Amino acid sequence: MVRSTRKWFWVHKWSSLICTLFLLVVCVTGLPLIFLDEISEHWRGDPPAAPLSIRTRLVNLDHLVASATGKDGVFAGETVRWLSIEEDSGQIWMGLAPSYDAPRTLDHVVRFDARSGRIIRAARSGEHTSPLWIGLMFRLHADWFAGLAGELFLASMALLFLIATVSGVALYGLFMTKLPFGTVRKDKSRRLRWLDLHNLLGIVSVAWVITVSVTGIINQLSTPLYDIWRTTELSGLLAAYRNQPMSVHPDSVQAAYETALRAQPRKTVRSIRFPDGELGSPYHYLIWTKGDTPLTSQLATPVLVDARSGRLTATLSLPWYLTALLTARPLHFGDYGGLPFKIVWALLDAMTIVVLGSGVYLWIGRRNTRSTRVERLGIAHEAANEMMKRKPGNVGGEK
């Protein structure tokens, strides 16, 4: 029993100490990100619009491309990179760049009313669709401004946090065998009260912590997972197109949109990536469709439509790891159940911040207590030696 407790305590202590600082930053930055959509919509001040449904008739997508890139368009002659259909806000977003070869940092966005095609906002490169501080929070939460290396590092911290949580549950079971569940000993020292509170909040939030830790690890692996999919399954489908020129002037995007809906009749289109040799196919529209239930709305099915002929090339089945990724992403931020679910997520996040902070406090307090105890023992030892020196008849003592 004692040996088992020591092992679990060692695992819990060091896994917690290594990851706590980083997890505190992740939890603090994650708190506003839970309400990212609500904050961004309020900041943009867009006119209210009814959400889109599977029965909503959208504006012709070719008209949107023409109004943005045509001779009299807001970004005449530029390249369209993608379209995103934003159901909640009733908008269609279009990502553009000065040219296909332009750096991604020069991308900008035009937002249209999905029903009328009216331009709501044409944001040039460097302008934001959400407050700047939200963007900084997201980068700190996602990769600490270090790209893929930062994502993988935070994935390892999430794994350590998962280990710390499991070991904490084991310790809670060992230490609380003689106390009722949820006991906070208010009549004891402040440190013991904080220890009981740390244990209580930790055990209450354990299911949530495990959920966000696992989904966080999966989310941080999104870049390599998509790269694996593109270089294996997608690359195999594109073998017949190799050595062909890229579709610089693709066929009607509206025709491609309708082709995808015919291939997936009970679904809606989530987004369309124009021909792109880096993030999609150089020869196709990569169209992501989704279902209309709370679960299937988070699961996308990719459809490839030939950008020159408008014909269907393939409807792809996602591998299990991308299905896990698409399921994990909204669950990580509490996007499944609307605002009430997000509020619960935020409360659990705040509770975890208290658990992490109290863990640091308990560790520092324990070290201070140990140092004080050692110091007191040292003083007592010196005092005893002094007394022995003063006692008559001792060697070296006073006469």
Segment 311-350, tens digit of pLDDT: 999 999 899 999 999 999 989 998 887 889 999 999 999 9
Residues 256, 234 within the same domain:
yes
Residues 247, 311 within the same domain:
yes
Residues 204, 63 within the same domain:
no
The answer, yes or no, to whether residue 127 has pLDDT greater than 70, is yes
Edge to edge, the sheet with strand 91-97 lists: 119-123, 108-113, 91-97, 79-86, 268-273, 284-290, 300-306, 312-315
The answer, yes or no, to whether residue 204 has pLDDT greater than 80, is yes
Contact assessment for residue 215 and residue 379, using Cβ atoms and an 8 Å cutoff:
no
Q: Which of 318, 334, 350 is the last residue of a domain?
A: 334
The answer, yes or no, to whether residue 376 has pLDDT greater than 60, is no
What pLDDT does residue 207 have?
Answer: 94
Residues 63, 37 within the same domain:
no
The answer, yes or no, to whether residue 380 has pLDDT greater than 80, is no
Residues 99, 213 within the same domain:
no
What average pLDDT does the segment 123-132 reach? Answer: 82
Give domain status of residue 161, yes or no.
yes
Residues 58, 192 within the same domain:
no
Q: What is the pTM of this model?
A: 0.84
Give domain status of residue 399, yes or no.
no
Give domain status of residue 248, yes or no.
yes
What pLDDT does residue 7 have?
Answer: 87
Residues 171, 196 within the same domain:
yes
Q: Which residue has the higher pLDDT, 15 or 398?
A: 15
Local confidence band at 25 (pLDDT 50, 70, 90 cut-offs):
very high
What average pLDDT does the segment 370-390 reach? Answer: 47
Give domain status of residue 102, yes or no.
yes
The answer, yes or no, to whether residue 13 has pLDDT greater than 70, is yes
Residues 58, 164 within the same domain:
no
322 CB-near residues (< 8 Å, 6+ apart): 225, 226, 229
Cα–Cα distance, 94 to 114 (Å, whole number): 11
Task: Considering only CA atoms, give the Rg of the chain.
Answer: 29
What average pLDDT does the segment 158-167 reach? Answer: 95
Give domain status of residue 78, yes or no.
yes
Q: Which of 334, 356, 373 is the last residue of a domain?
A: 334
Local confidence band at 373 (pLDDT 50, 70, 90 cut-offs):
very low
What pLDDT does residue 125 have?
Answer: 79
Residues 250, 320 within the same domain:
yes
Give domain status of residue 396, yes or no.
no
Q: Which residue has the higher pLDDT, 187 or 218?
A: 218
The answer, yes or no, to whether residue 255 has pLDDT greater than 90, is yes
What average pLDDT does the segment 103-129 reach? Answer: 90
The answer, yes or no, to whether residue 395 has pLDDT greater than 50, is no
Cα–Cα distance, 133 to 131 (Å, whole number): 5
Measured from the Cβ of residue 188, the count of other Cβ atoms closer than 10 Å reads 11
Q: Which residue has the higher pLDDT, 65 or 105?
A: 65
Residues 73, 144 within the same domain:
no
Contact assessment for residue 137 and residue 29, using Cβ atoms and an 8 Å cutoff:
yes
Residues 274, 312 within the same domain:
yes
Local confidence band at 398 (pLDDT 50, 70, 90 cut-offs):
very low
Local confidence band at 262 (pLDDT 50, 70, 90 cut-offs):
very high
Helix axes 206-220, 222-229, angle to 10 degrees: 50
Residues 3, 65 within the same domain:
no
Segment 70-98, tens digit of pLDDT: 988 999 999 999 999 999 899 999 999 99
Q: Which of 334, 363, 383 is the last residue of a domain?
A: 334
What pLDDT does residue 142 have?
Answer: 94
Cα–Cα distance, 142 to 216 (Å, whole number): 9
Q: How many domains does the chain have?
A: 2
What pLDDT does residue 247 have?
Answer: 79
299 CB-near residues (< 8 Å, 6+ apart): 290, 291, 318, 323, 326, 327
Local confidence band at 370 (pLDDT 50, 70, 90 cut-offs):
low
What pLDDT does residue 388 have?
Answer: 54
Tokens at residue 257, please?
A: 């949109």
For residue 329, the enclosing domain spans 47-130+227-334
Give domain status of residue 364, yes or no.
yes
Give domain status of residue 330, yes or no.
yes
Please provide the average confidence, as pLDDT, over all residues in the chain.
Answer: 87
Measured from the Cβ of residue 187, the count of other Cβ atoms closer than 10 Å reads 6
Local confidence band at 6 (pLDDT 50, 70, 90 cut-offs):
confident
In a 13 Å sphere around the CA of 254, the CA atoms on its Cβ side amount to 10
